[in-house]
Amino acid sequence: MSARDLAPGSKLSHPKFGMGMILSVEDDFYKIYFYENEEIKTLSRDYDGFNIEEAKKPDFPMLTMRDVEKAIREALQQTSERAPLVPLGGKWIGGNVVLKPGDSALQEKEIPMETFFHKIVMVREKLRVLEQNINNHPKLDDEDRVHLQQYITRCYGSLTTFNVLFAYKEDQFKGSGGKD
């Protein structure tokens, strides 16, 4: 089996990044989690430097992880008011956020990264619901809507600090500049 035809779950080694596991397959590239540096890399499926350690055969028709995630996200959004499934970046999985006070007499607080990330995503979802309520409120005129929307946009801009936690760029926060 060639390295181009591997399915998610296949294990391979790379000369620079070491041992890794394919997380998802796209048309021309793999998303691979590398154990040593705990990072997800996007690499071409045509790269001939892979050494296949454990090959998984693809199921046909082969769906990419992004296809599956998108379908699940859309189904949840249509049937629930809960936050959509937004994946945490691979290097953060299993990590912790440590809040250390300036006063050494006080105790630090440690929070699992997944919990912290979930709370950030929930803030975003609550901002989206607030936006919908503002836009559909019968007693607000257009000027009031624009004024309130500017505050929400600034909130999104403040939350761009946390974009490093997201697995995919399209899930990240965007401020008024839209570049963040």
Q: What is the pLDDT of residues 29-47, one digit of tens each?
A: 889 999 998 999 999 988 8
Q: How confident is the model at residue 180 (pLDDT cuts 50, 70, 90)?
A: very low
Distance CA(99)–CA(115), nearest Å, equals 14
Q: What is the pTM of this model?
A: 0.49
Rounded distance between C-alpha atoms, residue 38 and residue 17, angstroms: 10
Dihedral sign for Cα 110, 114, 115, 118, please.
Answer: positive
- Mean pLDDT over 106-113 rounds to 94
DSSP designation for 102: S
Q: How confident is the model at residue 99 (pLDDT cuts 50, 70, 90)?
A: very high
> CA Rg, the chain, in Å?
21
Residue 168 structure tokens: 């995919």
Instruction: Answer whether 46's CB lies under 8 Å from 52's CB.
Output: no
**Mean pLDDT value of segment 123-133:** 87
Cβ atoms of residues 166 and 89 within 8 Å? yes
